[in-house]
Amino acid sequence: MTDTLEEWSGFFSAYETLDRERKLDKARGRNDYNLLTSVLSANDEVRLHTRFLCSLLDPEGAHYQGSKFLALFLDCLGSKNWLDPAETRVRKEYCPAGKEDQLDLYLSDGARQIVIENKLNAIDQPRQVARYLEAIECDRVGDYRDTLFVYLSKGRSRPSKRGMGELELSEIDGHQVLVKGGKPLALYQNMSYRQRGQVPSIHSWLSLCEESVAAVPNLVFILHEYRGAVERATREYRSQVKSLNQFLKKDRQNGSEYHEFAKQIMKELPRVHAAWLDEAIETMDEIFSKALESGMLTRMAKEDAHLLQPFVSKLHKQNEAKLIYQRKFDRLPPKPSRRMKGCFYLVEQGKFAGQVLIFIFYAKDRIHVGFALANPSLLGSDEAVEISKRLTPPGGLSRHFPNCFTVSDCSEDLDSSWSDFSASPYRKILDKILRYFSPAERPG
């Protein structure tokens, strides 16, 4: 691909159009908010999916629709009227008496029973299907046609050999049956969370449920929300706001070219960010020029490394020189690394002389701007907030500087303000720190 100025201009022009369309979509009220996934992960198998399904299937549920949803579920499986709705009891995370195995969902009307194994993401456990059938004693129920095992997944064709154990799937009278040593134990039914496939889908059932309660708005709403949660879990959800994915797939020719441009930007961006950080460090002398000329601050060189001892943790004792950034040797890497380098300025005048260290410090994947104290009693958190509300105690940086207050940013996700550090918010924070510790600002 030839990277001409015209091609790059076309790429950025198309992206600007996408950005405008996205803003317009949002202004019109389009959004991707989902009530359920704002509280729980879309992939929360137990707390979201198992429990929600139980609440719908339960004839005694607070939806007050009786067995309507249960009946539609059985219809979707091709097992209409298989359970007596008046007698059916639904249990979630059910442990049969005296058994250790926990069934995700268990439905029984006293004569027949259904086990629903919810496999949204989890892998099959050893002999899981076999153990579950043993737990409900299906071999003692009588007819194998009185037990139905439903395997609900994102599209697996059947349980794994590991999960089946000694069981096999056979076809008897047109039905899939779980068999052990030639003896049929239970009917078997596959079910999918995905919309398209050859097996019954959760979406088909939800559609039937929505149609059945069309006159009950809050139930239609929550069914729609759950459908959205399922689509997110299966990655079938389509954003209501135009996405970058749609932009790259706009048409075959342009989409391919745009994708190549995006790859180049991704490849170069870490190097751009690393250059910005280097420039920020190299700008520090300019920012502190007057303080350096007056002797209020001294920039720490390798030979001054021993002066860092009051500020660093035991981790760096006797190795302080390794922390000091040198323009000639220490250009920062384009990707996160174990390298830890900083540009340090020691306050040399006034009541804080020798007790405060102002710095910009790169540690692994974060860049920190702030100051360290030789003695924690010099300044409390409330006083640090007086300097800038953005300054916070050390957090992860405490391993290196036990008594410090900084604002930090992820080096892989820098915003454009780092491109001109002298005009950035971080420069303003450094100015406030300098004023606070300056003898001219704080006499005596």
- pLDDT tens string 169-214: 999 999 999 999 999 999 999 999 998 777 899 999 999 999 999 9
When pLDDT is averaged across residues 426-433 and rounded to a whole number, the result is 90
Q: Count how many Cα atoms sit within 13 Å of the Cα of residue 431 in the half-sphere of its side chain.
A: 10
Is pLDDT of 313 > 70? yes
Position with higher pLDDT, 273 vs 223: 223
Using the predicted structure, report yes or no on whether residue 3 has a pLDDT greater than 50.
yes
Whether 316 shows a pLDDT value over 60: the answer reads yes
Res 141 pLDDT > 70: no
Nearest to 120 by CA among 208, 235, 206, 26: 235
Angle, alpha carbons 247-253-255 (nearest 5°): 20
| pLDDT given at position 441 | 55
Residue 131: closest CA among 171, 186, 201: 186
In the predicted structure, residue 82 carries a pLDDT above the cut 50: yes
pTM of the predicted structure, to 2 decimals: 0.62
Weakest mean pLDDT among 98-102, 335-339, 360-364:
335-339
Lowest mean pLDDT among 159-173, 371-385, 422-436: 371-385
d(CA 427, CA 284): 9
State the amino acid at position 366 in one-letter form: R
| Terminal C-alpha separation, the chain | 66
Q: What is the pLDDT of residue 336?
A: 46
Average pLDDT, the chain: 85
Whole-angstrom Cα distance, residue 154 to residue 232? 12
Percent of the chain with pLDDT over 90: 46
pLDDT at site 175: 92
| Alpha carbon distance 59, 57 (integer Å) | 6
The residue among 14 and 316 whose pLDDT is bigger is 316
Residue 253 scores a pLDDT above 70 = no
The residue among 152 and 239 whose pLDDT is bigger is 152
How, if at all, do strands 147-153 and 183-192 pair? parallel
Provide mean pLDDT across the span 67-88: 93
pLDDT at residue number 149: 96
- pLDDT tens, position by position, 396-418: 788 889 888 888 888 777 778 88
pLDDT in tens, 267-304: 777 777 777 877 887 788 888 989 998 999 998 888 88
The three-state (H, E, C) secondary structure of the chain, written as one string: CCCCHHHHHHHHHHHHHHHHHHHHHHHCCCCCCCCCCCCCCCCCHHHHHHHHHHHHHCCCCCCCCCCHHHHHHHHHCCCCCCCCCCCCEEEEEECCCCCCCCEEEEEECCCCEEEEEEECCCCCCCCHHHHHHHHCCHHHHCCHHHEEEEEEECCCCCCCHHHHCCEEEEEECCEEEEEECCEEEEEEEEEECCCCCCCCEHHHHHHHHHHHCCCCHHHHHHHHHHHHHHHHHCCCCCCCCCCHHHHHCCCHHHHHHHHHHHHHHHHHHHHHHHHHHHHHHHHHHHHCHHHHHHCCEEECCHHHHHHHCCCCCHHHCCCHHHHECCCCCCCCCCCCCCCEEEEEEEECCCCCCCCEEEEEEEECCEEEEEEEECCHHHCCHHHHHHHCCCCECCHHHHHCCCCEEEEEEECCCCCHHHHHHHHCHHHHHHHHHHHHHCCCCCCC
pLDDT recorded at residue 251: 53
Mean pLDDT of 127-135: 93
- Please give the pLDDT value at position 212: 96
Q: What is the pLDDT of residue 16?
A: 82
pLDDT of amino acid 337: 46
Stronger pLDDT, 6 or 37, i.e. the higher one: 37
Per-residue pLDDT tens digits for 9-35: 777 777 787 888 888 888 899 899 999
